[in-house]
């Protein structure tokens, strides 16, 4: 039997987060295009979480509508709070950032439509404001990604359609 048969895949849908301290859990964010996944893991208490954020921050016209986790700025704060409730400590957190691809390209609108880049910038700013340093990242480009966080070990893998799967930060 392979190790993978004992995995309990737990998806983080778009605009949501998931936290776990169950060793067999593998948290996964499928199909990251312009969305970003922020993965946080405490290697001492073996708790981790993924935020699968859609947009950098709410605009004045938009409403959170009960889903603050769809925004990078609000979602990271909620992810941190949830991890702290599971005894994680800020100074031990390993931080990984994935996604933020440029998925829509229309002549003359390249900068306006680059939500992926704006998501990555927002993630950097919020993580820095919380004194969290990114250990590794796979961001930008034009390819979608799927990211997994293994709760037992803290390993983070990233799969792209073109490049296969790799361990992030190894």
Establish how many alpha carbons lie within 13 A of residue 152's alpha carbon, considering only the half-sphere containing its beta carbon: 10
Show which residues are catalytic. 35
User: Tokens standing for 146?
Assistant: 């799927």
Residues in CB range of 122: below 8 A, 6 or more apart: 56, 57, 72, 73
The b-or-e profile of 138-169 (16+ CB within 10 A means b, else e) is bbebeebbbbbbbbeebebbbbbeeeeeeebb
- Report residue 105 as tokens: 């390209």
- DSSP annotation string for 53-75: ESBSS--SS---TT-GGGBHHHH
Tokens of 67: 């889903």
Q: Which of 94, 98, 96 is nearest to 141 (CA)?
A: 98
């Amino acid at each position: 039997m392979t190790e993978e048969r004992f995995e309990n895949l737990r998806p983080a849908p778009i605009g949501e987060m998931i936290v776990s301290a169950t060793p067999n859990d593998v948290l996964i964010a499928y199909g990251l295009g312009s969305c970003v996944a922020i993965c946080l893991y405490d290697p001492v208490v073996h708790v981790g979480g993924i935020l699968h954020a859609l947009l950098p921050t709410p605009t004045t016209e938009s409403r959170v509508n009960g889903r603050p986790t769809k925004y990078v700025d609000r979602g990271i704060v909620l992810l941190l709070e949830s991890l702290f409730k599971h005894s994680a400590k800020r100074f031990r957190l390993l931080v990984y950032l994935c996604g933020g691809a440029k998925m829509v390209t229309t002549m003359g609108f390249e900068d306006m439509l680059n939500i992926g880049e704006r998501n990555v910038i927002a993630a950097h700013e919020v993580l820095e404001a919380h004194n969290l340093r990114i250990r590794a990242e796979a961001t930008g480009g034009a390819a979608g990604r799927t990211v997994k966080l293994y709760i037992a070990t803290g390993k983070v893998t990233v799969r792209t359609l073109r490049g296969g799967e790799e361990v992030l930060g190894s």
